[in-house]
Structure 1
Amino acid sequence: MASSDLAATYAALILADEGLEITSEKIVQLTTAAGAPVEPIWATLMAKALEGKDVKELLTNVGAGGASVAVAAPAGGAAAAGGAAEEAKEDKKEEEKEESDDDMGFGLFD
């Protein structure tokens, strides 16, 4: 049996999987039927947080922000990958310059 703190989340996932609207009433019904009742406030908060969002899309795009760059480089060929590497080196050099400009020759505990 799921703990009561996760019950609302599981209920929302079940509703999304079934293609049903996620409402606080349905979350309370599901959790009560499962034997892990939650307070209505938590069901309401979960329903409000997921209102207007496609839960399945949220789950499939977890971590997609960092992966899109890595996937794009092979598709563009070696030239695109080389260009990306050059940009990364230039960015790193700029960061090093900024750090050295900020160094005044003394530290916090000197």
Structure 2
Amino acid sequence: MSNEVRDELLTVYAAMILHSDGAEITSERISKLTAATGAKVEAYWASLFAKLCKNQDLNEILSSCGGGGGGAAPAAAAAAGDAGAGDAGAAPAAAKVEEEEEEEGMDFDLFG
């Protein structure tokens, strides 16, 4: 992990700790928390994140993160269920064809 990524993560975690504690997120408090880890973080990170968090609803930001993956699978399954409702054997055949196509892709050789 690069120093820049480490510094950013430490700063983000410090801001999240302050938010979780209900404390105001300031550059001084972020700097204190990152210093308490024993790591030396570039000074601009604390002021950058303090400005970023100012006047923001962090509860809204944190609650809107993640959980977006995998949404298409149930919709695709429902569509397949509607299409094959009259023919019970059609869905397994389609699954088998897709499986065979995936297996064919496994023969790729980077060096050959």
TM-score (norm 2): 0.50
1:39 aligns with 2:39: no
Whichever residue aligns with residue 52 of structure 2, its letter is: A
Q: Identity rate of aligned residues, in percent?
A: 46
8 Å CA contact retained: 2:27, 2:50? yes
8 Å CA contact retained: 1:7, 1:37? no
Deviations 1:72-95 (Å, cap 9, x if unpaired)?
Answer: xxxxxxxxxxxxxxxxxxxxxxxx
Q: Which consecutive residues of structure 1, in runs of 5 or more, have no partner in the other structure?
A: 65-110
> How much does 1:18 deviate?
0.4
> How much does 1:3 deviate?
2.5
Deviates more, 1:54-63 or 1:36-45: 54-63
Q: How many pairs were matched up?
A: 64
- Partner Cα separation in structure 2 for residue 5 and residue 62 of structure 1: 18
Work out which structure has the larger RCO, using CA pairs closer than 8 Å and 6 or more positions apart in sequence: 1
> How much does 1:54 deviate?
2.0
1:26 aligns with 2:29: yes
- Partner Cα separation in structure 1 for residue 13 and residue 66 of structure 2: 21
> How much does 1:37 deviate?
2.7
Alignment equivalent of 1:8, drawn from 6, 11, 16:
11
- Partner Cα separation in structure 2 for residue 20 and residue 58 of structure 1: 17
8 Å CA contact retained: 2:7, 2:45? no
Deviations 1:49-98 (Å, cap 9, x if unpaired)?
Answer: 1101121221112369xxxxxxxxxxxxxxxxxxxxxxxxxxxxxxxxxx
- Partner Cα separation in structure 2 for residue 37 and residue 54 of structure 1: 28
Residue aligned with 1:57, SS: helix
1:55/1:40 CA distance change after superposition, 3 Å? same
TM-score (norm 1): 0.51
Deviates more, 1:35-44 or 1:19-28: 35-44
Whichever residue aligns with residue 42 of structure 2, its letter is: E
